[in-house]
A and B are shown apart, each in its own frame.
Chain A
Amino acid sequence: MSDQHFLRVDNLSKSYGANQVVKGVSFGFDKGEFISLLGPSGCGKTTILRMIAGFETPNGGAIHVDGKDITGLRPNERKLGMVFQAYALFPNLTVGDNIAFGLKVAGVPREQRRARVDEMLKLIGLPGYDKRYPYEMSGGQQQRVALARAIAPRPRLLLLDEPLSALDAKIRVSLREQIRAIQRELGITTVFVTHDQEEALSISDRVVVMNAGNIEQLGTPHDIYNRPATRFAATFVGHLNALPHATFGADRAIRPELISLSPRPDTDTTLVGTVSDIGFMGSVLRLKVDVEGTPLSIDTFNANAAPPQRGDQVTLHLAARDVLVLGAA
């Protein structure tokens, strides 16, 4: 890996007893990137994040930030910021004092602290909330305060461990966009842990797809979705249809939105099937079509025309270049 990377993790591993949960993971990221660690529950995302933070000691490997080896440093010596799933605001302190905590530890004078707190509150869209206590605020507001608290001391790296998973669906979406906007504005290198693929794909510069302590793929959201490197990456991220063997050969698959009900300029293959089910999801219709005994899901945009009915015979159009070949890996 290049030495220029701002955050570099080399061959990092961690075991709990005989159970190796991180198996020699390496990656490097540039300054200002927004990185997501994505993977199923128990794959070791949190463990990696906690090793970067210094809360867990790796059994092997090294972590470099800004060219310096931080592997042996204690958490309070690393100058990082972290946002926790359960907010973890100090209940005895006001919002203002929570945000000022790191600045106070660093010995920033009172006037500067106050200015920075005001600046942070404006940034998270909660100006004038400095006198409130955490219990007087909603979950979404508390998590925004936790974000402000983490970035107020200008950390070198911002770490977020499933910061949205304790929140309601609606707030989850608006807050993730806000986190991304703030991250862009400050240009702070960010590592975001999530098991929600939509979350990871929608806000990241690059995504690390993990499984069972290993990296399956590292790439842009576009790459990961359209050119999955492994069978795991292909099936974990997004929905995938296994295509009928007879027509396409073994291990061929396609995304539901790449099958159309009408011919497109680039489509070159057709299949005939029977509609077995229709799911209406607002902007999208998800059809289940049975093709020679193989069930296929098809996503089409909702148009204000009569949709196909159950039992209808439909012709499916797809392009050979959209067909994914799932490797053995």
Chain B
Amino acid sequence: MKADKFWSWLVFGLGAAYFLVPLIATFEFSLKMRRGYYSFDAYASVFADPDFQATFLYSSLVGLLAIVVGVLVVVPAVYFVRLRLPHLRPLMEFITLLPLIIPAIVLVYGYIRLYNSSSVIPFTGSALGTDILLTCAYVTLALPYMYRAVDTGMRAIDIKTLTEAAQIMGADTPRIIATVILPNILVAVLSGAFLTFAIVIGEFTITSLLNRPGFGPYLQIVGANRAYEPSALAILSFIITWGAMGMIQLLARFAPRTSARTD
């Protein structure tokens, strides 16, 4: 009994160390900007950098946009497939896995070929066009996560009967999606949203190759040119990602409660 516990704790400790030691080392290093004692100078330097603020703001905005577009595309798609075309679900599963299989670099080269300034649809010809393209790229990157989150959310409720209950009372499809489906999968949608945000905020490949001032390319530039700030930024990125994950955990508590009772 005691030995069992000992080994369990040992394995747990080793696992934890594997993750925590580099993190602690990075954190410790990020505090050493001033010689001789610990300080948060590296962080102050990061926050004072106008490029940090600009790129972070830019990536956040495009991230929010990607979330909105992603929800508008994924929720109705999953809803209709589950309701009317259930035999297409395996296809849907496959398509939404593609972004995990096809490297981002392939995607972005495809974009550049297809939408360059001399093409029929010259998205990359203007900053706005490129931003739209970047949003679409982020939606695609986040698709596997958004799809699975939404699909799981819809599995938890009886969308067919709820839809019929709303229909017979006169509601049309947009109204049903907005007032019956979406509110009941809100927790799932929000967890998809936080995952999207976590992916977008540090995305480098596509942002950089489309030449947009995102947070990912900024991280890379700072990493190549500074000593202590990259560690501070790494810790900050961790905090953002963990914050997003923590929000998902928190939201799971508000998942819809079943009301199937017989009494």
- Separation of A74 and B172 alpha carbons in the complex (Å): 10
CB neighbours (8 Å) of A87 from chain B are 259-260
Please report which residues of chain A, range 258-292, place their CB below 8 angstroms from some CB of chain B when the two chains form the complex. Answer: none
User: CA separation between A161 and B161, bound complex, in Å?
Assistant: 12
Q: Chain A nearest CB: distance from B90 CB in Å? A: 22
Docked complex Cα distance between A93 and B175 (Å): 15
Is there an interface contact between B261 and A76, defined as CB atoms closer than 8 Å? no
B162 A90 Cβ-Cβ under 8 A: yes
Query: Is A53 close to B, CB under 8 A?
Result: yes
Chain A, residue nearest B164 (CB): A55
Contact check, A81 vs B158: say whether CB atoms are below 8 A apart.
no
B259 touches A142 (CB 8 A): yes
Complex contacts, A106 vs chain B, CB 8 Å = 170
- Bitwise, B239-263 to A at CB < 8 A (1) or not (0) is 0000000000000000011111111
Check: B46 CB closer than 8 A to any chain A CB: no
Known contacts A90-B162, A90-B184, A135-B257, A78 near B263 by CB under 8 Å: no
> Is the beta-carbon distance between A142 and B169 smaller than 8 angstroms?
no
* Minimum Cβ distance to chain A for residue B163 (Å): 9
- Contact indicator A137/B169 (Cβ below 8 Å): no
**A168 lies within 8 A of B263 (CB):** yes
Q: Is the CB of B261 within 8 A of A138?
A: yes
Q: Are A88 and B263 also in contact (CB < 8 A) when A76-B170, A105-B175 are?
A: no
In-complex Cβ contact of B262 among A82, A149, A168 (8 A): A168
Known: A86-B158, A138-B261. A153 touches B184 (CB 8 A): no
List which B170-185 residues lie within 8 A (CB) of chain A: 170-172, 175, 180, 183-184
A213 within 8 A of B: no
The total of chain B residues at the interface (CB under 8 A) is 26
Contact indicator B183/A92 (Cβ below 8 Å):
yes
Encoded as 1 (CB less than 8 Å from any B CB) or 0, chain A from 127 to 153 comes to 000000111011110100000011001
* Chain A interface size, under 10 / 10 to 19 / 20 to 34 / 35 or more: 35 or more
- Whether, in the assembled complex, A222 has its beta carbon less than 8 Å from a beta carbon of chain B, the answer is no
Instruction: Tell me if A88 and B170 are in contact (CB < 8 A).
Output: no
Neighbour of A88 across the interface among B162, B183, B258, B261, CB < 8 A: B162
A75 and B262 contact, CB distance less than 8 A: no
Residue of B nearest to A79 (CB): B170
Main secondary structure of the interface of A (DSSP, over half): loop
A75-B164, A90-B184, A92-B184 are known contacts. Are A102 and B259 too (CB-CB below 8 A)? no
Asked if B126 is at the interface (CB within 8 A of a chain A CB), the reply is no
Q: Is A166 an interface residue (CB 8 A)?
A: yes
Contact between A88 and B260, CB atoms less than 8 A apart: no
B107 at interface by CB-CB < 8 Å = no
Known: A91-B257, A92-B183, A168-B262. A153 touches B164 (CB 8 A): no
- Which residues of B sit under 8 angstroms from A254, Cβ to Cβ? none
Cβ of B120 < 8 Å from any Cβ of A? no
On whether A167 and B262 interact (CB within 8 A), knowing A92-B184, A101-B169, the answer reads yes
In the complex, chain A residues whose CB is within 8 Å of the CB of B164: 53, 55, 75, 82, 84, 88
Residues of B with C-beta under 8 A to A77: 170
Q: A134 to B258: give the CA distance in the assembly, Å.
A: 9
Q: Is the beta-carbon distance between A78 and B168 smaller than 8 angstroms? A: yes
**Is the beta-carbon distance between B261 and A102 smaller than 8 angstroms?**
no
Nearest CB of chain A from residue B211's CB, rounded to whole Å: 43
Chain B residue nearest to A134 (CB atoms) is B259
- The residues of B that contact A76 with a CB separation of less than 8 Å are 167-172
Chain A residues with Cβ under 8 A from B180's Cβ?
90, 92
* Minimum CB–CB distance for B258 against chain A, Å: 7
Q: Determine whether B165 belongs to the interface, using a CB cutoff of 8 Å to chain A.
A: yes
Contacts of A80 in B (CB 8 A): 168
CA distance A153 to B180 in the complex (A): 18
Q: Which residues of A contact B162 (CB under 8 A)?
A: 88, 90
Residue from B158, B162, B169 having most chain A Cβ neighbours under 10 A:
B169
B12: min CB distance to chain A, Å: 37
Q: B78 an interface residue at 8 Å Cβ cutoff?
A: no
Does B65 sit at the interface, judged by CB under 8 A?
no
Q: In the complex, what residues of A have CB within 8 A of residue B171's CB? A: 76, 101, 105
> Is the CB of B166 closer than 8 A to any CB of chain A?
yes
Instruction: Tell whether, in the assembled complex, residue B262 and residue A102 are in contact, meaning their CB atoms are under 8 Å apart.
Output: no
- Shortest beta-carbon distance from A78 to chain B in Å: 7
A54 to B262, CA, bound (A): 28
Q: Is the CB of A138 within 8 A of B263?
A: yes
Bound CA–CA A247/B262 (angstroms): 49
Contact residues in A for B168 (Cβ distance below 8 Å): 53-54, 75-76, 78, 80-82, 150, 159
Task: Report A108 CB to chain B, min CB distance, Å.
Answer: 11
Q: Which residue of B lies closest to A83 (CB)?
A: B165
- Chain A residues near B74: list those with CB within 8 A: none
Task: Offer 19 A-B interface pairs, CB within 8 angstroms, sorted by A.
Answer: A54-B168, A81-B169, A82-B164, A82-B165, A87-B259, A88-B158, A88-B162, A90-B162, A90-B165, A90-B166, A90-B180, A91-B184, A101-B166, A134-B259, A142-B259, A150-B168, A159-B168, A166-B260, A167-B263
Besides the contacts A82-B164, A149-B165, what 17 more A-B pairs have beta carbons closer than 8 Å?
A75-B164, A80-B168, A81-B169, A87-B259, A88-B162, A88-B165, A90-B165, A90-B166, A101-B166, A101-B169, A102-B169, A105-B169, A134-B259, A135-B258, A135-B259, A153-B170, A171-B263
7 shortest interchain CB distances as A-B pairs: A102-B169, A139-B261, A135-B257, A92-B183, A134-B259, A135-B259, A88-B165
